[in-house]
Structure formats: structure tokens, C-alpha cells
Amino acid sequence: MTATRSARPAEGTARKTRELSPQPAAATVAVRPVRLGDLDQIVTLDARVTGLEKRSYWQSLYRRYGAPTQAERQFLVAEAGGRVVGFVIGEVRDWEFGSPPCGWVFAIDVHPEARLAGVGARLLSAICAGFRRAGVRKVRTMLSRDNNLILSFFRSQGMMAGPFIPLEMDLES
């Protein structure tokens, strides 16, 4: 993940207040299970990164993955200074496409001002630890081929192309 840095304001101009300090120290970041009270910050973070507010989508994900009763499903957040600065969601899937059970990461994001501080790596490490506790030894994900940011992140964490080829077709004719 890359961070964007803005130029310093010109002399005599007011400095814009930031939501959080850039690049929290790794020691100040705690990774923990999501709480219902985190949803507003997650919706805001996702909307900032994707340009779309998807509140009902995130509420649905919280209902499915936010309850810590199933070891196979995980929804974790990274918190720094009392603010959510990232999240990761995944689950163990069994025998899809003939694959033995493995962990799937289907959402991960870090606040742009907190990138390059190891937050994404901590989130991925935490969800992988949960997958190991659930008994799996492999993790997979899927991403858009033009998303160089997330592709670079996953590759930096040791992930590489797997044995499957995604296929799709339009259902509208």
C-alpha cells in the first residue's frame, strides 16, 4: 500500500486538520475483532477509498462476520488512538473448486494516512493466525487485475498467483 503525501501549506495559510496522525507507530496499533460501534468508521473509510458509501453492505457483513462465535469467519479492525485505521475480513472455505479447506481474504483496507506503517501487514498476519487456529494452511484472495496498490501489498506479504483462473460472463444480453 502506498501513502500519498500532500505538500506543506504555503506560509500564512491554515493547515487542514487531519482525522488521525499519519503513519501510526506499529506499537500503537491494536488488531482486534470488530465491534458494532466500529461500523461508522469502517463505512467512512471504505467510502473514502472506493468513492461509494455502502452502509447496508457493511451492516450485512457485520451480521455475518462480526459475531466471534465462528472461528471460520473473521472481521478484524486495526485501531490506533481510538480510531479504526484498517480492517480485514475473511473466512475458511471448504472444497470450493476442488481445493482443500483454506482461508480466503475478501476485504482489506487501511486508511490512506496510516499506510506504510505496517498496519496492513499486521491485519493480514492476524487473520492468517486465525486461519491457522481453524486448521488451514493456505490463504487465498482475489483482486482486480488493475489494482496495483493491493497487488503490490499482497505480493510484498509473500502471496503469488495460485492454481485457479477466474472466469466470468455478463448475464445481460
Residues 113-163: pLDDT tens digits?
Answer: 999 999 999 999 999 999 999 999 999 999 998 999 999 999 999 999 998
Domain that holds residue 134: 33-156
Domain annotation covers residue 18: no
Domain annotation covers residue 41: yes
Torsion of CA 48, 51, 57, 58, to 10 degrees: 0
pLDDT over threshold 50, residue 9: no
Q: How far apart are CA 159 and CA 103, in angstroms?
A: 13
CATH number at residue 43: 3.40.630.30
Q: How far apart are CA 143 and CA 146, in angstroms?
A: 8
Domain annotation covers residue 126: yes
Domain annotation covers residue 137: yes
The more confident residue out of 32 and 165 is 32
Mean pLDDT (the chain) is 85
Domain annotation covers residue 16: no
User: Cα–chain-centroid distance for residue 107?
Assistant: 5
Per-residue model confidence as pLDDT tens digits over 24-63: 665 689 999 999 999 999 999 999 999 999 999 999 999 9
Is the overall model pTM greater than 0.75, yes or no? yes
| Number of independent structural domains in the chain | 1
- pLDDT of the residue at 5: 30
First and final CA of the chain: distance in angstroms? Answer: 37
Domain annotation covers residue 12: no
Domain annotation covers residue 135: yes
Domain annotation covers residue 23: no
